[in-house]
Amino acid sequence: MRITGLATGLDMDEIVKNSMKPYRIKVDQMTQKKDVVEIKQKLYRDIIKEGREFFDKHLDMVKSDTLLKSSNWSSISFSSSDENAVTAKASGEAIKDDYTVSVTQLAAKASTTLKDGITTGAQTLTTSTGVTINFDVANDGSKTTIANFNASIATKKADSSLTSEQLKSLNITAKYSEISGGIIFEANDFGQGGFTLTNSTGDATDKYLHATIKNSNGDIYEIKDADKVTNNSKAVDGITFNFNKECTGVEITGKTDVKDLKDKVVAFVNDYNKLIEKLNTTVITKHDRSYVPLTAEQKKEMSETEVKLWNERVEKGQLYRDSDITRITNSMKESMRTLMADSGLKLETIGIKPVQDYSGALNGTFTIDEDKLTEALENNTEDVMNLFIGNSDAADKSQRGILHQLKDTVDTEFNKSTSSSLLKKAGFEGTTTFTTNQLSKNITDYEKKIKDMEKDFSRREQHLYSKYATLEKMMNKLNAQQSNLMSQLGMA
């Protein structure tokens, strides 16, 4: 704490403060420049975030429900007369029909059970390749036990998984089952060959799926041993049949149902509209230059609400006419103008109509006539699907479909750090660009300049205080001399 001006009667703090104002203004201006860069980085990152979210939701092939997959364009659903036995799910290529399904054998890996109390003594497990393993069986109360497994390990209770290296080497698992009432020996994989077990309930062999699927015309599709179907599902004519138990004459009924598909298309268009409106608003909103970042002193004089409202006005329009965002927006809009040459189909044909707003925030967005879209999906699902996903490998970009074109643009501009101009410029959390980007570098440069300017400011300020402290000393000395003179003259 400085105590100044006692000798001179001058307010030294106020004098120094006023003298330093030009330098403080320079520091504040440099800080404001840094603040503007930080604001722009925040705005860019908000846009990157929304672009990545749009990609993740609609354009990521990893997602099971993405419209990029033809299997999600089915307008057909199936009901089963016995869902505990058989169910069916349609893909985009499915044909609406009714089917009758019978299952005489479910697929199962080679397995057999050594029942409790059947026998005791020596047992032999023999694989299809002739390898044998010998072990002893005893009965411990109500449970079968295995002892002296090839005389190489200690006695094992059958109610815990066997750990024999011999079984492991044959890729066979043995464990006790209360339900089965004995020890189940099971191959770990299909196709490794069967095995026999002394006194078991039967030879252990792979069981392939046996089933028949009959359509409404009486045509029968048979699944038999020769087909070697090793799981209990089978895709036929774009329909995946799931078999849960042996059965006879289960009725699978097909019907046209586009509600879920229509809802997916509507959700995609709505999210696209939201992103395009955000991008449009960003580049058409002008910045009011009278609003600049507040200095620390200015914030002290304002309420919290006033500061918040001011900061919102400062952010507004900072990315006006940004060339990168404009380019990305135009590329996305161009993808949505796709016209399929084969069918002549475009979005407007199926009820997705462009908004007439040529220079506003809604430019490039769409309205949806859901009734017209529903009708198009019911009557022409395949052509509508082709409009959206086309042929992903087509040389002609327009034949790749709307979603594949959008996917390329959005992935390139929001996800790929090697090609995204926005990521290179502003960076994004969770990527290598978060700290290694142009704006972060600019911010660091400004921070260094501000630090140097603050040091210079302190040095200048201290120089002024030292200067006025010298003046105080001189005034004190003069005052003392004056008092002494007055005293000598008898005037004190």
- Read off the pLDDT of residues 415-466 as tens digits, 9 standing for 90 and up: 998 999 999 999 999 999 999 999 999 999 999 999 999 998 888 888 788 7
pLDDT at residue 162 in the model: 46
- Average pLDDT on 242-253 reads 97
369 closest CA partner among 386, 390, 385, 347: 347
Same structural domain, 103 and 215: yes
Question: Is the residue at 11 inside a domain?
Answer: no
CB atoms within 10 A of CB 320: 13
Question: Is the residue at 236 inside a domain?
Answer: yes
Q: At what angle do helices 401-414 and 370-389 cross, to 10 degrees?
A: 70
Q: What is the pTM of this model?
A: 0.72
Q: Which residue has the higher pLDDT, 92 or 233?
A: 233
C-alpha 487/C-alpha 482 separation (Å) is: 8
Residue 312 clears pLDDT 80, i.e. is over it: yes
Question: Is the residue at 331 inside a domain?
Answer: no
Span between the terminal Cα atoms of the chain, in Å: 34
Banded pLDDT at 94 (limits 50, 70, 90): confident
How many separate domains does the chain show? 2
Residue 159 clears pLDDT 70, i.e. is over it: no
Question: Is the residue at 274 inside a domain?
Answer: no
CB atoms within 10 A of CB 168: 12
Domain boundary among 257, 275, 297: 257
Same structural domain, 126 and 190: yes
pLDDT at residue 12 in the model: 74
pLDDT at residue 156 in the model: 39
- Average pLDDT on 145-171 reads 51
Helices (H) and strands (E) in the chain, counts: 10, 17
pLDDT at residue 145 in the model: 52
For residue 81, give the amino acid letter: S
Q: By mean pLDDT, which of 26-35, 42-51, 191-200, 428-437 is the weakest?
A: 191-200
Question: Is the residue at 183 inside a domain?
Answer: yes
Same structural domain, 166 and 116: yes
Q: Which residue has the higher pLDDT, 481 or 91?
A: 91
pLDDT at residue 468 in the model: 73
Same structural domain, 92 and 141: no
Banded pLDDT at 200 (limits 50, 70, 90): low
Banded pLDDT at 160 (limits 50, 70, 90): very low
pLDDT at residue 121 in the model: 66
Banded pLDDT at 340 (limits 50, 70, 90): low
The separation between CA 464 and the C-alpha centre of its own chain, rounded to angstroms, equals: 59
User: What b/e sequence results for 171-202 when a residue is b if at least 16 CB atoms lie within 10 Å of its CB, and e otherwise?
Assistant: ebbbebeeeebbbbbbbeebebbbbbbbebee
Same structural domain, 117 and 250: no
Q: Which domain covers residue 161, as residue numbers?
A: 111-197
Q: Yes or no: say if 349 and 384 are a contact pair by the CB < 8 Å rule.
A: no
Phi/psi at 490 (nearest 5 deg)? 70, 25
Residue 207 clears pLDDT 60, i.e. is over it: yes
pLDDT at residue 8 in the model: 54
Average pLDDT of the chain is 86
Query: What is the secondary structure of 81-149 as a DSSP string?
Result: S-TTTEEEEE-TT----EEEEEEEE--B-SEEEEETTS--EEEEEEETTS-EEEEEEEEETTEEEEESG
Domain boundary among 219, 237, 257: 257
The string of pLDDT tens digits covering residues 280-296 is 999 999 999 999 999 99
Same structural domain, 253 and 115: no
The string of pLDDT tens digits covering residues 397-410 is 778 899 999 999 99
Domain boundary among 153, 170, 197: 197
Banded pLDDT at 176 (limits 50, 70, 90): confident
Question: Is the residue at 64 inside a domain?
Answer: no
Same structural domain, 188 and 115: yes
C-alpha 146/C-alpha 182 separation (Å) is: 11
Question: Is the residue at 326 inside a domain?
Answer: no
The string of pLDDT tens digits covering residues 99-151 is 999 999 999 888 888 777 665 667 778 888 888 877 766 666 555 555 444 43
Q: Which residue has the higher pLDDT, 180 or 26?
A: 26
Same structural domain, 116 and 170: yes
Question: Is the residue at 233 inside a domain?
Answer: yes
Query: Which range is most confident: 32-41, 143-152, 475-484?
Result: 32-41
For residue 253, the surrounding DSSP H or E stretch is strand 247-256
Same structural domain, 115 and 248: no
- Average pLDDT on 330-346 reads 82
Tokens of 347: 């979005």
pLDDT at residue 149 in the model: 43
Q: Yes or no: say if 472 and 4 are a contact pair by the CB < 8 Å rule.
A: yes
Residue with tokens 């699944």: 223
pLDDT at residue 99 in the model: 98
For residue 28, the surrounding DSSP H or E stretch is helix 12-58
Same structural domain, 101 and 229: yes
C-alpha 66/C-alpha 57 separation (Å) is: 7
pLDDT at residue 111 in the model: 87
Percent of the chain with pLDDT over 90: 56
pLDDT at residue 399 in the model: 82
Same structural domain, 169 and 219: no
Banded pLDDT at 10 (limits 50, 70, 90): low
Query: Which range is most confident: 206-210, 220-224, 355-359, 392-396?
Result: 220-224
Rg (CA), the chain: 40
